[in-house]
Amino acid sequence: MIETVFHPRVIENKDWATILFVIALTMVAITKSAYGNRFYDFMKLLFSDKYNKIYRDTNNLMSAFTVIMFIINMISLAFFIQLVLHNLGYVSKNDWIVFIQIITFLLVFVLSKYLIEKIIATSFNIEEFVEQYNLQKVNYRTYIGLLILPLDIILFYSKYTSKTLIFLIIGIFLILNFINYFISLKNYQNLLFRKLFYFILYLCALEIAPYYFMFHWFTKS
């Protein structure tokens, strides 16, 4: 007698990711429609500083345009982190619980860091520089997040992803961040030199230490 063995068929659910991608792309379309000129200037941010010069008022940090682009950036970055962890063999890219954990961590980290920066800036009397610096930093990072979004979609639905490609994207992402820091420091160098000592403390405490401890914790874990 032939014994029949039934194996459970595992069907990976990708509906949650599809919904989030649609929401993110819809938000991009709505933002482009509602803020046509501003969106056009924003998309040229990598090649032109026009956007930063026009929208340099710190009130723009809490504007609807910036908030929407920040949300899109969080979705895009959380997906990318999950895809990186998936390719390194730590998590499944189809696990929506992991995505919630990643995006929650990102939101808590970014918002906590922003509030601490506000407190330290007030203590060091460098509010003007920190607010303008944060605005420009947010602009460039949301821009990078918007560029990563279509890559997230391609990588998520692709069955085979090269680790070389993942590390290449990470390398480009880090290079763009270094360019962002360089441009920010260059734009505010006059203000920076007047508060150089306090800026060095700020840089070590909030721009280097958090990422170092995150890297140390991740590699040890």
- Give the model's pLDDT for residue 191: 61
Question: Which positions ≥6 away from 155 have C-beta within 8 Å?
Answer: 80, 83, 161, 165, 166
pLDDT tens profile 120-133: 777 767 677 777 77
First to last CA, the chain: 50
- Give the model's pLDDT for residue 79: 92
Gyration radius of the chain over CA positions = 20
The 3-class SS string of 131-169 reads: HHHHHHHHHHHHHHHHHHHHHHHHHHHCCCCCHHHHHHH
Q: Is the model more confident about 12 or about 190?
A: 190
- Give the model's pLDDT for residue 2: 52
For the cut 80, the answer to whether the pLDDT of residue 57 exceeds it is no
Minimal CA–CA distance to 195: which of 113, 130, 114?
A: 130
pLDDT tens profile 148-187: 899 899 888 887 767 777 888 888 887 877 777 676 666 6
